[in-house]
Amino acid sequence: MTTSGTSLKELYLASPRLEGKNSDILRSIRTELVPGIPVLVVFIRHRTKKNEWLAILSTDLSLTVEEVIRIYSMRWDIEVFFKCAKSLLRLQKEFQGLNNLTAQQA
């Protein structure tokens, strides 16, 4: 299945339900993002909005659905850490200014 012109909702409805011990993993499907670029799309239950789902895409087709979720979870933890660190250290404004300063020096 090629996703060119296909919405995530259409992919969700076209993908088979996953049966297993983890009820938070709803569905998955292998498709192509654009012709020649295969992806694995994993649909998981939204943590706080149980009637909604989130989609995680991976171009590494050797990974299992569980591995895709585990790796994304680790990456998300890193993103949250950096956001908290920037907020606590009040670095956001300095970094915004740093980009402007760099542009002015160039």
More confident residue, 101 or 6: 6
Contact present, 56 and 44 (Cβ < 8 Å) = yes
How much is the pLDDT for 66? 92
> Which of 33, 28, 32 is closest to 64 using CA atoms?
28
Chain-centre distance for alpha carbon 104: 35
Contact present, 18 and 27 (Cβ < 8 Å) = yes
Instruction: Give the total residue count for the chain.
Output: 106
Q: What is the pLDDT of residues 58-100, one digit of tens each?
A: 999 999 999 999 999 888 888 888 888 888 887 765 555 555 5
* Mean pLDDT across 26-45: 93
> Which of 49, 67, 50 is closest to 58 using CA atoms?
67
pLDDT at 30 > cutoff 80: yes
